[in-house]
Amino acid sequence: MTIYLPIAELPINILLLLGLGALGGILAGMFGIGGGFLLTPLLIFLGIPAAVAVATSTNQIIASSVSGFLAHWHRNSVDIKMGLFLLIGGLVGAVIGVALFTILESIGQIDLVISLIYIVFLGFIGLLMAIESGRTIWRNRNGSSAISSPVKKGRMKKFRELPLPFQTHFPRSELTVSAILPIATGVIAGMLVSLMGIGGGFIMIPAMIYILGMPTGVVVGTSLFQIIFITSLVTVLHAVNTYSVDMVLAVILIIGGVFGAQIGTAIGLRLPAEKLRWMLALIVLAVCVNLALGLLLEPENLYSVTELEE
């Protein structure tokens, strides 16, 4: 069953795309992450142009973020004020990111930059998670009942103690920090959204816990809150600048994702948390290695042809 994607301009199997969307949804349900970081590279492996893969993943993330956000909203685990400050930075970062994306595409280096950023981030996060969850599993197996991975909130405390202006109180997080910190965090996350086609949750959440010192209960909801707005803006910017959002592809991925999320949630409830993190770490590292090989091995065809748009 093939369907012609009008923007990617190629025919592709619809079941394959539904499965891919479901895979993203399963990951989202199991691990509570967006799954964009896997979806984008997988779409590229399928032959979809990198620009279309990034822009369309961004569009798809809006849907899964809305579902996730609503669940947190009902449980009152969203710090709207903090979310708004993150959002201000995120919007600026998104605009910078899309401008960078357009420049890189015109000089033919967008694929390289996307791969490199992915390799660095996935490698770093995959290794950290593998080490942390591996240790916990090892400790549990040896009968030690030590509490697994206590959150070391104190580690990055110096960021909060810098003598920065605009000290602001955030009642929901019971926290007073300089407004510059969440805005700067937002700028970086926003740039990554435009360049990588991800929600950026896996960058935002550690930053919110370790740098801003927010209570862990509100970070996921707050990050989802601002991701909805950033991904919406980035989708429109990509649509206007690079014409690379494929609505048909996005709808298929969303449908797959909705069902995948139900499956993922069910699996996630049955498996112990550290085993889940260990599995996720392996997936992340596998994607990272695959991307790295693409840059390190000599390609079959050295030449590529691109049409120049006037």
Partner 1 sequence: MNSCEHKSRGLLWHWPFKNISAIFLVIICILSSAPQALARPIVANISPRSVDITHDFDGRDVLLYGARTDVGRIIVVLRGPRKDYVVRKKERVGGLWINNQSAVFRNVDSFYTIASTHNLSEIDNNALLTHLQIGNTDQLIIRASGPLTTEQEELFRKAFINERVNSQLYSPDVRPISFLVETLFDTTLRFPRNIERGWYTAEVYLFNNGQLSAMQSTPIEVRKKGFEAFMFDFAHNHAPLYGIVCVLIALLSGWLASTLFGRGK
Residues binding partner 1 (CB under 8 A): 3-4, 6-7, 59-60, 62-68, 70-71, 74, 108-109, 111-112, 228, 232, 235-240, 243, 245, 247-248, 250-251, 254-255, 258, 261-262, 265, 295-299, 302-308, 310
Contact 172, 82 (CB under 8 A): yes
Is the Cβ–Cβ distance between 48 and 41 less than 8 Å?
Answer: no
Report the nearest approach of partner 1 to the CB of residue 132 (Å): 23
**Closer to partner 1 by Cβ: residue 28 or 211:** 28
Q: Indicate the residue among 86 and 237 with the shorter CB distance to partner 1.
A: 237
Q: Please, which residue, 33 or 184, has the CB nearer to partner 1? A: 33
Greatest CA separation found in the chain?
66
- For residue 256, the minimal CB distance to partner 1 (Å) is 12
Between 182 and 201, whose beta carbon lies closer to partner 1?
201
CA distances from 83 to 69, 92, 171, 179, 279 (A): 12, 14, 12, 11, 30
Contact 40, 197 (CB under 8 A): yes
Please state the closest distance from residue 249 (CB atom) to partner 1, in A.
10
What radius of gyration, in Å, describes the C-alpha atoms of the chain? 20
Q: What angle do CA 227, 229, 231 make, to 5 degrees?
A: 65
Q: How far is the CB of 155 from partner 1 (least distance, A)?
A: 28
270: phi then psi, degrees, rounded to nearest 5: -95, -20
Q: Residue 29 CB, nearest distance to partner 1 (Å)?
A: 9
Do residues 142 and 125 make contact, with C-beta atoms less than 8 angstroms apart?
no
Q: Rounded CA gap, 66 and 227, in Å? A: 9
Question: To the nearest whole angstrom, how small is the minimum distance from the Cβ of residue 275 to partner 1?
Answer: 18
Closest contact distance (angstroms) between CB of 194 and partner 1 is 13
Distance CA 310, CA 308 (A): 6
196 versus 261: smaller Cβ distance to partner 1: 261
For residues 191 and 204, the answer to whether their CB atoms sit within 8 Å is no
Q: In terms of CB distance, is 58 or 185 closer to partner 1?
A: 58
189 or 291, CB closer to partner 1? 291
Task: Take residue 197 and report the two structure tokens written for it.
Answer: 């086609």
